[in-house]
Structure 1
């Protein structure tokens, strides 16, 4: 059973999809600019979620494959692709075991889509991405900057929609570099708890992991594509195969 079982489902879409969709065009612009993309590239959106990035990259002329472990997200991604009039190959699968070798020009892992497994399995995710790339291909990961999260740590947050609630209680495990979350969801009078964790990284640690996974060159920019600084809450790490 995945460590994030029950996290990425219809409740997640209900509370978060509208907000994420509102950012999708700007995020796709950023991906296009930072990675200097062009139409015709073969792209894998790894942990593509409900397709908000994959569909927009396809709209710009890229050949996009979206992989995710959530059937609910993939159904929504396919619906949105039809509405946009684009073709994306959506695949239900596990990022630890990719079925492709040497196929893609780019693997995109966006909005903290990496770090949900044990350390050996997280390393396996990077090695699988490297193997799925053509020589000279790249992987781009967008995720939290651990150092900045520690400086601005908040022990809880509440999200409300139409009287329904998400309550997240946060803890940082400094011995494992994990962000531990106990999520309580209250929707339509029902309550359930979803515990999960995300592995956090400083840039030097993630760079070393990528090099060990078979990448040859790694660089980092801040969340807006500008310089990466101590105030950058998020980072975009780009590794070349």
Structure 2
């Protein structure tokens, strides 16, 4: 990951969540409640959180006594998360690396890919990643994959297409559009500093898949789809025509 992208990761994953810490804490607590319930987690299980970012889910689960490994590419996030794990003496660790290169990892009872963290690569790479994850799941191990539902992209984009919001001392302008020919959300960001200085994001592209497409990819990886939910909250939200999210749970 180049220095410019790492700067943006630090801005969004550290400073943005600090700016909106109360909202982030409430969201994380609700999502961890959801994961505990649907996975019927027990303290002896090993959990892998891929593209763990600032560690919202990793820390939330580890604070409840679960053993969690995280994989994250951005060095500033790895450093901060490692320091936090050490300071709190949590049963967790964070591994610096690309989520597409999992050879050195062991076996897990649960693998999490939350908040549309899968979709930044090619179709072939996404399938290969799912294949590799299946190899790192124990028998009857489970994968939880949270991603945007493209059938409701118009509803999702009403709140996401364009807007300013404060991050730290400055403001971020977000401009997004969905390309139906490629099935991708493409987003540009610009950060305005208090002194008028600006930083421009190199660009973000997320491939969205429909539920039938995800179902096929999961099955090709040798996993059996168990359930799909409309949001990562409790009480359970069914996946239907109004759902902006799709959360798939599959078993090896």
Q: TM-score by structure 1 length?
A: 0.90
Cα 1:77–1:36 change in 2 (3 A) is same
Query: Corresponding residue for 1:43?
Result: 47
Question: Which of 227, 230, 234 is 2:238 aligned to?
Answer: 227
**Alignment check: 8 A CA contact 1:101 1:131 kept:** no
- State the shift of 1:86 in Å: 0.8
2:33 maps to which residue? 29
Using the TM superposition, give the Cα deviation of residue 151 of structure 1 relative to its aligned residue in structure 2, in angstroms: 3.7
2:202 is the alignment partner of 1:198: no
- Between 1:160-169 and 1:36-45, the stretch displaced more is 160-169
Please, which runs of 5 or more residues in structure 1 have no aligned partner? none
Q: Contact between 2:230 and 2:237, CA under 8 Å: does it hold in 1?
A: yes
Q: CA deviation at 1:219?
A: 2.3
Structure-2 separation of matches of 1:231 and 1:218: 21
| 1:108-147 alignment runs, 5 A limit | 108-147=112-151
Q: CA deviation at 1:172?
A: 0.7
Instruction: Name the SS for the 1:107 alignment partner.
Output: strand
Determine the structure 1 residue equivalent to 2:182: 176
CA distance in 1, matches of 2:167, 2:100: 34
Q: Please, which moves more after superposition, 17-26 or 187-196?
A: 17-26
Q: 1:152 to 1:45 in 2, by over 3 A?
A: closer
Does structure 2 conserve the Cα–Cα contact (< 8 Å) formed by 1:211 and 1:218? Answer: no
For 1:95 and 1:141, how far apart are their aligned partners in 2? 14
Does 2:10 correspond to 1:10? yes
Give unmatched runs, 5+ long, in structure 2. Answer: none
CA contact (8 A) 1:45 1:67 kept: yes
Q: CA deviation at 1:139?
A: 0.6
Deviation of the 1:145 alpha carbon: 1.2
- RMSD across aligned C-alpha pairs, in angstroms? 2.1
Q: Does residue 1:159 correspond to 2:170, yes or no?
A: no
Cα deviation, 1:176-224, whole Å, max 9, x if unaligned, reads: 1100001111234331221111111221111111111221334201103
Question: Alpha carbons of 1:175 and 1:28: their partners in 2 closer, same or farther (altered >3 Å)?
Answer: same
Normalised to the residue count of structure 2, the TM-score between the two structures is: 0.87
